[in-house]
Amino acid sequence: MPDVRGAVATALPDYRVESVALLGEGTEHIAFEINGELIVRFGRAPDPERTDREARLLAAVRGLASLPVPEPVFVLPLLGCLAYRRLPGTPLLDVPRPGRPERIATVLGEFLASLHAVAPGRLAGLLDVDDDPPAEWLREAAADYETVADHLPAGYRGRVEAFLGSAPPPDGSTPVFSHNDLGIEHVLVDPETSAVTGIIDWGDAALVDPAHDYGRLLRDLGPAALLPGVAGAGGENGAALRERAVFYARCGMLEDLAYGVGTGRRRYADKSLAALAWLFPA
């Protein structure tokens, strides 16, 4: 377990730590809440360069994005540690049956459009290119399926297997700046009103196919996620973008299901199983 108190004492020697609470754990990070106001996040495998770059990227993105993003308070790259003031809201993953899902999808679609419109040169030196080909995504999805096939309702297995046996969509997209991990676990909302209050965890941000994050929203929010902004995003044909978004959503569903089953995190497994209805319809 990371030495949270030690990290805070190193970076903020005059800051008094009165409470430390485990906030959440993911595949790449573990986060703690200090005094109900400060989020301190550690990488499971510290990557100093990546941590420092994420902090600098957040400083740049605050003036570009249409939704609030974390403002770094301190960074300790050698520990893979990034701290920021707590943004209001609750991860959408933890909000059962949120109201106004179509409105949430619209707001997030507008948010993606604001990112995709940023000229890459404005973020020079802060982003890698994520260009894994669709064929690689399909291979990884097939591997995930092998670990979770028994957890899928029998009626869906044939449809999933047909997808895994089909050809991936053609690539050829122009990379754009995107969050690159815009699942609902990284979307903060007001649990009472369902208003989106912020976007967290920017460690995977990259120049990438614009369909990646649309696919994640489709996976987690349903078909409404493809309505705002998708026709013409990135300056390309909307049908081609939609085809790739559906492809990435299907692959991502299997990935999240494997993660949920493997770690016992039921919310990931439950949302993935729910997505079968719109990702693999009869």
3-state SS track over 96-148: CCCCCHHHHHHHHHHHHHHHHCCCHHHHCCCCEEECCCHHHHHHHHHHHHHHH
Q: What are the pLDDT digits (tens) for 77-133?
A: 999 999 999 999 999 999 988 878 888 998 999 999 999 999 999 999 999 999 999
**Ramachandran category for residue 121: left, alpha or beta (phi over 0 → left; psi -120 to 50 → alpha):** alpha
pLDDT of res. 236 = 59
Q: Are residue 115 and residue 29 in the same domain, yes or no?
A: no
pLDDT category of residue 229 using cuts at 50, 70 and 90: low
pLDDT of res. 134 = 97
CATH number for position 34? 3.30.200.20
Q: Are residue 71 and residue 187 in the same domain, yes or no?
A: no
Q: Are residue 95 and residue 79 in the same domain, yes or no?
A: no
CB 137 within 8 A of CB 248: yes
Q: Are residue 49 and residue 146 in the same domain, yes or no?
A: no
Helix (H) or strand (E) holding 163: helix 154-164
Cβ neighbors of 202 (< 8 A, separation 6 or more) are: 54, 57, 58, 61, 69, 70, 179
pLDDT category of residue 228 using cuts at 50, 70 and 90: low
Average pLDDT over residues 54-60: 94
pLDDT of res. 171 = 85
Angle between helices 211-221 and 238-263 (to 10 degrees): 60
Q: Are residue 98 and residue 206 in the same domain, yes or no?
A: yes
Q: Are residue 182 and residue 263 in the same domain, yes or no?
A: yes
Is pLDDT of 231 > 50?
Answer: no
Average pLDDT over residues 213-231: 81
Total number of domains in the chain: 2
pLDDT over 70 percentage in the chain: 96
Q: What is the DSSP string of 167-203?
A: PPPP--PPPEEE-S---GGGEEE-TTT--EEEE---T
Is pLDDT of 217 > 50?
Answer: yes
Q: Look over the chain and give the mean of its residue pLDDT values, rounded to a whole number.
A: 93
pLDDT of res. 223 = 87
| Final residue before a domain boundary, out of 51, 85, 119 | 85
Q: Are residue 151 and residue 185 in the same domain, yes or no?
A: yes
Token pair belonging to 132: 């894994």
Q: Are residue 191 and residue 236 in the same domain, yes or no?
A: yes
pLDDT of res. 279 = 98
| Final residue before a domain boundary, out of 69, 85, 101 | 85
Q: Are residue 15 and residue 115 in the same domain, yes or no?
A: no
Q: Are residue 101 and residue 177 in the same domain, yes or no?
A: yes
DSSP one-letter code for 222:
-
Q: Are residue 20 and residue 109 in the same domain, yes or no?
A: no
pTM: 0.91
Is pLDDT of 172 > 80?
Answer: no
pLDDT of res. 101 = 83
Is pLDDT of 201 > 60?
Answer: yes
Range(s) of the domain holding residue 116: 90-279
Alpha-carbon Rg of the chain, whole angstroms? 19
| Final residue before a domain boundary, out of 85, 117, 148 | 85
Q: Are residue 118 and residue 18 in the same domain, yes or no?
A: no
Q: What are the pLDDT digits (tens) for 3-49?
A: 999 999 999 999 999 999 999 887 788 999 999 999 999 999 999 99
Residue 68: Cβ within 10 Å count:
16
pLDDT category of residue 225 using cuts at 50, 70 and 90: confident
Is pLDDT of 157 > 60?
Answer: yes
